[in-house]
Amino acid sequence: MSEKKIVLKSSDGKTIDVAKAVALQSQTITHMVEDSCVGNEIPFENVTGQVLAKVIEYCKKHVVVDGETLTCKTVAHVIHTRTIDEIRTFFNVENDYTPRKKQ
Amino acid sequence: MVIRFCLVKMAEAKGAVCEDLDMISALPEELLLKILLRVPIKDAVATMILSKRWRFIWMMLPRLDYKEKRYGDDFMNDYDEDDDDDDDNDDDESNKSIWWFFEKSMELHKAHVLTTLLIKLGPGCPSDADVQKWLKKAVDRHVRVLRFKLCWSTVPTGLPKSLYTCQTLKELTLSRKILVDFPSSSCLPSLIILELFYVVYKEDDSLVRLLSGCPVLEYLMVKRNKDDNVTKFSVKVPSLLDLLYSNYNTPDDNDIVDTGRCLVIDTPALINYHIADMSGDSCSIENMPCLESAYIDVESFADIDRVLTSISAVVSLELAMTDVLLVGCSNINFSRLIKLSIYPDMSHWLEPLLILLKNAPKLKDLLVDYVYICTEDLTLSWDQPSSIPRCLSSQLEIFEYRQYRDTEEDEEFLTYILANSKCLKTVTVSVKPSFDLERKELIIKKLRDIPRVSTTSQLLFK
């Protein structure tokens, strides 16, 4: 059984498979994972399947946004610390400006 | 490489198709702007030559932050203003002012909305620079946050008329060579934060008109210039919650004694004020029923009783203790006071302090800072009061002593506090910085031996 997946079980018996990294975006889920050591299945006695699904949807979006922020910061760093030519090389940006005619 | 993988994934998530290997140009404009917002303005503008795709991207930035390169010493810094050192990484290709870059880039900038514009122009800025033109452009582009610092060598500049009636402006900072001349038609309906640092005013009324035109102003910070053409500095703002005022211009010896200069504060909704005034101008404070905290370091008051009434219900109080204030404080009942910081400015402050403590039954946190006392041999004789102030025996939890001088009197006072504060949790002592390490060690050792009635209290040294 993969250690990277968690199974969340709602009060009405529905189960949702979720990547661990995604599920842990939620503090509540993190606490429950820490508390209940029953294999990989986490019961949510007070939460219906519908609500649980929405929570997971949010968590998935959250992970992507974090990745986005990290990448923005890194690209920004590259732009700040390198010359234009170096930036072009780094990201493979093609210089499609037509050179000015020498006068 | 991780970054490249992430970039491809991000682009794909937004629906872009990465056929060629160019990692970043395919990203949607919204994302590229997010990236450029994290980059100093010069680097952001430089991206326009990366490729055709990049030519107009930076021009859509909603936030522009121009700061002058350093010139070696500190004059570009006003004490409390933040300055980041991002642009110090530039080589000194030229000591040219940022003005020309600012002007050219503002010309090209295209975004329909410019929410934030931060400009600092140093002494290298040419005296014929048309600064008003660009301020006007910011107003036209619905600016919300505008911070403008001008240090050129010529006379203060006026401001564009449209700025006086800017509907979108929420935060405004004006600093140095700027002439504040607001007409009676001024209206800044969204302004919440206003900072006036060492600016010059056309006359007293210029300030009055400016403040009258700010119906929702909540925060005002003023740093006074010596000759700013204001005799009566009047702060009358019904909506104001926070006021920070400083005037460190001490009068010259040959100044006329009674100049009629004064500071008048009428802000009935105020929650917090911080007033430091060394100028000798008389200070008048109207009632403030909502006041929670105050910092007062003022030499001269028009009506000391009013001031004392204004602070009687505060929860937190910081006082530079002058004779005048002290005498007054002994008659006030500080019924809600929980945190008190005092900066004694005179000898014989211990007895009045103890009277104050008697009048502050709920005090939990006391700080004594000797920063203003210079003479080593100031003798403070004091008689211990007949009864111990109630706050010491039942409330005081935190006590801090700064610039501890290791005199007999200091030790006596500290001993008194430690012997009588039954609820004390932490005691922090910072010794005068001029003492050498050896002496500090000796003092620390001595202080650790002083008996403490609260056995669970901690003694810390800074």
pLDDT digits (tens, 9 = 90+) for B53-95: 999 999 999 999 997 655 433 434 443 344 433 333 333 344 5
- Residue B280 confidence (pLDDT) above 80: yes
- Which of A64, A80, A97 lies nearest to residue B51, judging by beta carbons? A97
Mean pLDDT of B130-151: 95
What's the pLDDT score for residue B355?
A: 87
Cβ neighbors of A69 (< 8 A, separation 6 or more) are none
**Contact status of A71 with chain B (Cβ, < 8 Å):** yes
What residue spans of B232-297 are helical by DSSP H? none
What are the tens digits of pLDDT across the range B23-42?
Answer: 788 888 999 999 999 999 99
Share of chain B above pLDDT 90, in %: 58
Measured between alpha carbons, how far is residue A2 from residues A5, A17, B429 in Å?
6, 11, 56
Do A8 and A18 form a contact (C-beta atoms < 8 A)? yes
Detail the DSSP E strand segments found in B254-353: 262-266, 272-277, 282-285, 293-298, 316-321, 339-344
Query: How distant is the alpha carbon of residue B378 from its chain centre?
Result: 32
Do B415 and B444 form a contact (C-beta atoms < 8 A)? no
Q: Do A97 and B49 count as a contact with CB atoms less than 8 A apart?
A: yes
Q: Which of A69, A71, A81, A100 to mutate to test the interface with B (most CBs of B within 10 A)?
A: A71
- Residue B383 confidence (pLDDT) above 80: no
Q: Do B3 and A92 count as a contact with CB atoms less than 8 A apart?
A: no
Upper half-sphere CA count for residue B242 (Cβ side, 13 Å): 9
> Which tokens go with B38?
């994290």
- Residue A1 confidence (pLDDT) above 50: no
- Residue B307 confidence (pLDDT) above 60: yes
Please, what is the average pLDDT of chain B?
86
| Surface of A (17-56) touching B: CB under 8 A | none
Pick the residue from chain A with its C-alpha nearest to B2: A71
Do B10 and B38 form a contact (C-beta atoms < 8 A)? no
What are the tens digits of pLDDT across the range B223-275?
Answer: 999 889 999 999 999 999 999 999 999 887 776 666 788 999 999 999 999 99
Mean pLDDT of A70-84: 90
Q: Which chain A residues contact residue B35 at CB under 8 A?
A: 72, 75-76, 79
Q: How far is A2 from chain B (nearest CA, A)?
A: 24
Query: What are the structural domains, with CATH classification, of chain A?
Result: 5-61 (3.30.710.10), 67-102 (3.30.710.10)
Reported pTM: 0.81
Q: What ipTM does this complex have?
A: 0.71
- Residue B8 confidence (pLDDT) above 90: no
Mean pLDDT of B192-200: 97
Share of chain A above pLDDT 70, in %: 85
- Residue B301 confidence (pLDDT) above 70: yes
Q: Which chain B residues contact residue A95 at CB under 8 A?
A: 50-51
Question: How, if at all, do strands B262-266 and B272-277 pair?
Answer: unpaired
* Neighbour count for residue B31 (Cβ, 10 Å): 20
Nearest by Cα to B10 from A80, A72, A74, A91 = A72
- Residue B2 confidence (pLDDT) above 90: no
- Residue B182 confidence (pLDDT) above 60: yes
Q: How far is A76 from chain B (nearest CA, A)?
A: 5
Q: Which chain A residues contact residue B51 at CB under 8 A?
A: 88, 93-97
